Amino acid sequence: MDNPFQMITDTFHPDYRVNLSIQGLEGSIMLTLSNERGVVAKRLISAAQRNDPLRLRKLIESVQFGIAIERGESAIKILAAMTDGITLQKAPRPANGPWASGQTNTASVI
C-alpha cells in the first residue's frame, strides 16, 4: 500500500477513531487513537517514518503492541508474532480485563 495515511487508518479503524494531525513544518504528524472511553494511544510520526514502508509497519506494530500490553495481553506472544515477521492485523478486543470493566480514559503513549 502506497498511502501511509490509508495504511494507518485501515489498520486501526473501525476499532478506534483515527485522527492524524500535522504537528510541524518538517512533516511530522500526530496519530491519536480513541474510542468511546477516550484516548487509547498517541504517537508522533516523523516524515521519515511515514515515508518508509518498513519503518511505518514497525511503528504500527509498536502501537498495536502498546495497546495490547495495556489490555493485559501476553507480551511474549505479541513479540513472537512481531519477530516471526507476522504483521499484526488488528488488536483483538479483550473478553475481560480493565477495558471491559469500565475503566475510563486510559491513555497509552508509545
Handedness of CA 55, 94, 16, 66 (dihedral sign): negative
Q: What is the pLDDT of residues 55-96, one digit of tens each?
A: 999 999 999 989 988 888 877 877 777 676 555 555 444 444
pLDDT at 83: 72
Question: How is the chain split into domains, by residue range?
Answer: 4-87
- DSSP-derived letter for residue 90 is -
Alpha-carbon gap, residue 34 to 32, rounded angstroms: 7
H helices of 44-86, in order, are: 47-51, 53-71, 75-83
Q: When comparing pLDDT for 57 and 99, which is higher?
A: 57
Q: What is the pLDDT of residue 86?
A: 53
C-alpha–C-alpha distance, residues 63 and 11, integer Å: 11
Give 12-35 pLDDT, tens digit per residue: 999 999 999 999 889 999 999 999
